[in-house]
């Protein structure tokens, strides 16, 4: 419905009040007594704000990978995790892309940047792990 880029919030965890009102108006327009709100990442802030503001309208919350910093009183361990990944060439390239930021405004450029930076958010399991190649029907060898 909304992306985190559309929210003018300046502080982590802050949600513009009109966004919660929009969701409440949609619930009423659809004629629903209560809703189950599903949200991912930064959208979980909006879902939590809706649940807090419209308690009787929200039956359940499904929060997928919420940014933990605003949910718990624990300092970020991002610097430790980054330090543990230093030296991993795939991570270094991905992290450099993240630090540089998007250098484009078109879809193809954004998708390329996203693919380049994605490995920074995922772990690897074993440097010697190989992915089996599929066998080709024509030559009997892997593709």
In 3D, which of 7, 15, 3, 22 has the Cα closest to residue 48? 15
Per-residue pLDDT in tens (0 to 9) along the chain, 143 residues = 444 444 444 444 456 668 899 999 999 999 999 999 999 988 888 999 999 999 999 999 999 888 766 667 777 778 888 888 888 888 889 889 988 888 777 888 888 888 888 888 776 655 543 334 444 455 454 44
C-alpha span between 63 and 67 (Å, rounded): 10
In this prediction, residue 18 carries a pLDDT of 84
C-alpha span between 79 and 127 (Å, rounded): 22
In this prediction, residue 89 carries a pLDDT of 86
Sign of the dihedral through C-alpha 113, 130, 123, 79: negative
Structure tokens given for 97: 């892309």
Query: What is the value of pTM for the model shown?
Result: 0.47
Structure tokens given for 128: 């010697």
In this prediction, residue 86 carries a pLDDT of 84
Euclidean distance between the first and the last CA atom of the chain, given in angstroms as a whole number: 40
């Amino acid at each position: 419905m909304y992306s985190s880029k559309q929210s003018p919030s300046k502080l982590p965890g802050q949600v513009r009040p009109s966004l919660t009102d929009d969701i409440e108006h949609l619930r009423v327009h659809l004629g629903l007594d209560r809703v189950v709100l599903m949200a991912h990442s930064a959208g979980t802030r909006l879902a939590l704000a809706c649940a807090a503001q419209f308690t009787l309208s929200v039956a359940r919350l499904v929060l997928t990978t919420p940014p933990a910093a605003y949910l718990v009183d624990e300092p970020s361990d991002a610097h430790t995790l980054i330090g543990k990944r230093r030296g991993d060439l795939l991570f270094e390239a991905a992290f450099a892309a993240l630090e540089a930021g998007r250098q484009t405004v078109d879809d193809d450029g954004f998708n390329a940047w996203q693919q380049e930076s994605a490995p920074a958010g995922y772990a690897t399991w074993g440097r010697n792990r190989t992915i089996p190649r599929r066998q080709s029907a024509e030559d009997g060898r892997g593709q």
